[in-house]
Chain A
């Protein structure tokens, strides 16, 4: 019965893809008819469900269904874009009209235009991105309940909960342009998350854990997610500030991806051509220690960041971003590449899976031992990153480490430095790789930063 439901759901989604393809074709045709020299359009449909259970009771059940189409037209070298969440034919035509009206007022831009035809994907690998769960509200509630129960059972100091949430989503997206490209594919994304509050005296600490995957079979068990959330909340109790100092900082895997994210932000074409990046003109230069390697691999089966082609239809391909510590590639779409006098790297819409090669085995323990004395960061707060200068200053919480072991929790502190210097000061990357995001990295040890506290 469940299998039959899944098959029907998959057929529904294929029908949605066919509808998206028709609408994209319609938009391109309308753009041509309206005087566009070139046009591109993308349409998507996503549907899903989420259920939250708090303190053992259902809190919310939400049914999601999102859709939309976006069209960009080029009149000569002038560009206009419009989008609508209403997929009726008349609305799509109205969006095309709006885009054309905008293009007529835009400035001539020699870089405005579609991706080069020779870079468009002609055939693409099967990436195994669509795994429907077939979960209904009752099923989601049962899993969320099991997850939260496990969290609350961890310790008598778990005094409260923000609940456990189970989500399931699947969708289809289609891209087409007037070079004749029309492609689409289905994908899914499911998650289980839990956040609980530990209390001791007047002090309360919250922490969470989550699992996310395209294939429900690859999710961590809900009970394991709950236990981890509970353990993380309890171990933060008794946190205190530490004195202001300089010391090594170890970014736990769950926050280390953010550090690599800042690197990726700084090599994004949009920042580079605006001269708004601290890594401007650094291609071919050493920006990390000699042993460091970072790759982009858009073709990992089932991975969250996998995609056969980018948001402009350009074929994606595995490549080196950093090898031997040297910056080997930027993150470019067609427009920013043109502005830089380069070629697109197939990153319209962002990076795909970015993999940081571990330099140490033995997980977080090994890096704690290597650090000896310093700060382990498990949570970061705020947005204190200046991409123009690389100046970095963020709120943090975590643990003080002595003799390679956790001594006590730490809160209400900041960690600061300059990203260019922090990247050069990376001492090790652990093999405790977190695969839940687009960046897959283990914990990262940064040799020296300023920690501000008392």
Chain B
């Protein structure tokens, strides 16, 4: 993480002073072209705040994204996408009215405002409080990543990734490398006077390889990214490292035997396996489910939900991280929320609506996929703090078990608490030693129980490489996860060897 911090600082320092105030930039890029100023925002919010409407907000967004896909050693396709619009929300008690427009001009804004207030009966015009400009954290430079590398160099980067992957092993049959970047400018104006903006870069590089040997085929995938320019991939051979890692995983899987089936001791590697925390406890600690009482963690603040070795936080303030944000999508600066402290449930992640209804403070977790979606409590970067154990000692302590180091996605039923996550690289532990690789298998457990079964926590906390995307109610947002090596005494492993 320290490298990433330095990178973010370096880019921030290099940015021209005029471009460093996100609010000025958002006004110029989003509002000015449609002739909008603060007076028009007040008028739209005034229209929104009819009788019996408690509050409302406008969320303006401008985004430009691109992707380049290399396959068979050549650029097969590239895409470019532009999106802009404004989402208008009216809130009355627990009710929300929502409408949006892809035109950022006053008539469209007023029409959306009138539609959104359909939840409130009766007329009248509300008053907007005096504007208070809110500044977020400085976690990333307000740059447009698409402009940080000439196209020729983006292409050359993918070609080098392809060559590096093929150079690793003659069994590599196919390499698919994707480079993607997003430049997003957002502006939030709320009836309580909140006025805030953010300029959000996001880049990602992904490598998938197919290997083939004696009729058996396997794949490996690696990648990373964050809120930087593309230059990040060129430093420290990061991009080439992803290529090597994808090949390594694919070759390991070529040797994999059937995975075991049944409950056993599982050791989870550091970093991306933290998807465990995201599924097992993260979603269940989002404010909306807890306000409604539909989470397996509802009403359990202050109770023991994990072993005393476990402290889990959600932190949106880490510089340059994929899940980080200067402000959330309601204009609240992000924070570091302690979810579980020494095994005791301490807090939920909140957006403004759920915080108000629960009498809690917003934690900067109000996020949305775009202007066309409503905000809700979402994770940022969710991870467990380091513990006392040497990772080698953790493996030595297991007589028979599974050592899982890479995962695909996961899913949780927040009501029953049951969650799954699927290992894509795993090994057997036999007699305290990591032995044979096994095929991918889904692991299933119960969120409120699994962390109580954590008996050892490594001193090797790592965050993931920046590839996570979380889906909830059909909305996708970028997130981060992380953890140290963990020993869990009892998770059900879904292999085929009964």
A393-B441 in contact given A206-B413, A244-B261 (Cβ < 8 Å): yes
A106-B75, A381-B413, A388-B217 known; A81+B494 contact, CB < 8 A: no
Rounded to whole angstroms, the CA-CA distance of A101 and B336 in the bound complex is: 42
Task: Say yes or no for B455: interface residue by CB 8 A criterion.
Answer: no
Whether, in the assembled complex, B126 has its beta carbon less than 8 Å from a beta carbon of chain A, the answer is no
Instruction: State in angstroms the CA–CA spacing of A409 and B94 once bound together.
Output: 34
List CB contacts (< 8 Å) of B409-449 with chain A.
409-413, 415-416, 418-422, 439-442, 444-446
Q: Are A384 and B492 closer than 8 Å at their CB atoms?
A: no
Residues of chain B contacted by A382 (CB below 8 angstroms): 409-411, 420-422, 442
B79 within 8 A of A: yes
Q: How far does the alpha carbon of A81 sit from the alpha carbon of B71 in the complex, in Å? A: 16
- Cα A318 to Cα B75 in complex, Å, equals 35
Most chain A beta-carbon contacts within 10 A, residue among B77, B151, B411, B445: B77
Q: Which residue of A lies closest to B77 (CB)?
A: A79
Chain A residues, CB < 8 A from B495: 393, 416, 450, 452
Q: Evaluate whether A246 and B94 lie within 8 angstroms (CB atoms) in the complex, with A63-B115, A109-B74, A395-B442 already known.
A: no
Which of B99-107, B195-203, B392-400 contacts its partner? B99-107
- Is there contact, CB below 8 Å, between B84 and A381? no
Q: Does A317 sit at the interface, judged by CB under 8 A?
A: no
Query: Which residues on the B side are within 8 Å of A395 (C-beta)?
Result: 411, 418-420, 442, 444, 494
Instruction: Note all chain B residues with C-beta closer than 8 A to A61.
Output: 95-98, 118-119
Taking a contact as CB atoms under 8 Å apart, the answer to whether A83 and B79 are in contact is yes
Q: Is residue A60 contacting chain B, with contact meaning CB distance below 8 A?
A: yes
Interface stretch, picked from A64-72, A215-223, A352-360, A431-439, is A64-72
Cα A81 to Cα B76 with chains together (Å) = 11
Q: Is the CB of A383 within 8 A of B498?
A: no
The CA-CA distance from A453 to B443 in the complex, in Å, is 10
Whether the Cβ atoms of A58 and B102 lie closer than 8 Å is no
> Are A412 and B78 neighbours in the complex by a CB distance under 8 Å?
no
Q: How far is the CA of A81 from the CA of B69 in the complex (A)?
A: 12
The listed residue (B78, B97, B439, B440) touching A105 by CB distance below 8 A is: B78
Residue of A66, A82, A274 near B174 (CB, 8 A) is A274
> Which of B82, B116, B152 has the most C-beta atoms of chain A within 10 angstroms of its own C-beta?
B82
Instruction: Compute how far the CA of A341 lies from the CA of B479 in the bound complex, rounded to whole angstroms.
Output: 41
B497 near A: Cβ within 8 Å?
Answer: yes
Q: Does A413 contact B (CB under 8 A)?
A: yes
Is B176 positioned at the interface, with any CB of A under 8 Å from its CB? yes
Taking a contact as CB atoms under 8 Å apart, the answer to whether A411 and B411 are in contact is: no
Whether A383 and B422, one on each chain, are in contact in the complex, defined by CB atoms closer than 8 angstroms, is yes
Contacts of A416 in B (CB 8 A): 259, 261, 441-442, 494-496
Q: Which of A107, A388, A452 contacts B262 (CB 8 A)?
A: A452
Contact assessment for A65 and B100 in the assembled complex, using a CB-CB cutoff below 8 Å: yes
A319 at the interface (CB under 8 A from B): no
- Bound-state Cα–Cα, A382 to B492, Å: 14
- Nearest A residue to B88, CB-CB: A63
B98 and A63 contacting across the interface, CB-CB below 8 Å: yes
Contact A60 B408, CB 8 Å, known A160-B293, A381-B420, A393-B422: no
Does B12 touch A at the CB level, under 8 Å?
A: no
Cβ-closest chain B residue relative to A107:
B74
Q: Is the CB of A204 within 8 A of B294?
A: yes
Question: Quick check: is A5 within 8 A (CB to CB) of the other chain?
Answer: no
Residue of A nearest to B87 (CB): A62
Q: Chain B, 194-233, contact with A by CB distance < 8 Å: what is the 0/1 string?
A: 0000000000000000101000011100000000000000
Say yes or no: A381 contacts B81, CB within 8 Å: no
Report A78 CB to chain B, min CB distance, Å. Answer: 8
Asked if B83 lies at the interface with its beta carbon under 8 angstroms from chain A, I say yes
Question: What chain A residues lie within 8 Å of B446 (beta carbons)?
Answer: 412
Is A7 interfacial (CB 8 A cutoff)? no
Let me know if A82 and B80 touch, CB within 8 A. yes
With both chains docked as a complex, state the minimum distance between the C-beta of B475 and any C-beta of chain A, in angstroms.
Answer: 12
A324 to B83, CA, bound (A): 48
Whether the Cβ atoms of B80 and A106 lie closer than 8 Å is: no
When C-beta atoms are compared, the residue in chain B nearest to A58 turns out to be B95
Q: Are A59 and B95 in contact (CB under 8 A)?
A: yes
Q: How far is the CA of A413 from the CA of B174 in the complex (A)?
A: 35
A residues less than 8 Å from B372 (CB atoms): 64, 66
Question: B496 and A383: CB pair below 8 A?
Answer: no
Closest to B76 in A: A109
Closest to B446 in A: A412
Within 8 A of A (CB), among B110-124: 112, 115-116, 118-119
Pick from A106, A162, A239, A393: contact of B292, CB below 8 A: A162
State the Cβ distance, A386 to closest chain B Cβ, in Å.
Answer: 6
Q: Determine if A381 and B210 form an interchain contact, defined as CB atoms under 8 angstroms apart.
A: no
Asked whether, in the complex, the Cβ of A59 is within 8 Å of the Cβ of B78, the reply is no
- For window 94-141 of A, CB contacts with B under 8 Å fall at 94-95, 98-99, 101-103, 105-109, 112, 137
Counting CB contacts under 8 A, is A252 at the interface? no
B155 within 8 A of A: yes
Closest to A245 in B: B498
Count chain B CB atoms within 10 A of each CB in A79, A106, A112, A241 and give the residue with the most.
A106
Are A452 and B415 in touch, CB under 8 angstroms? Answer: no
Contacts A246-B498, A381-B420, A413-B492 given; 6 further ones with Cβ under 8 A? A101-B80, A197-B415, A275-B173, A384-B420, A394-B494, A412-B445
User: 19 A-B Cβ contacts within 8 A?
Assistant: A59-B95, A63-B112, A81-B77, A95-B80, A99-B80, A103-B78, A105-B152, A203-B416, A205-B415, A205-B416, A275-B212, A381-B442, A382-B409, A391-B439, A395-B418, A412-B446, A413-B444, A416-B494, A452-B261
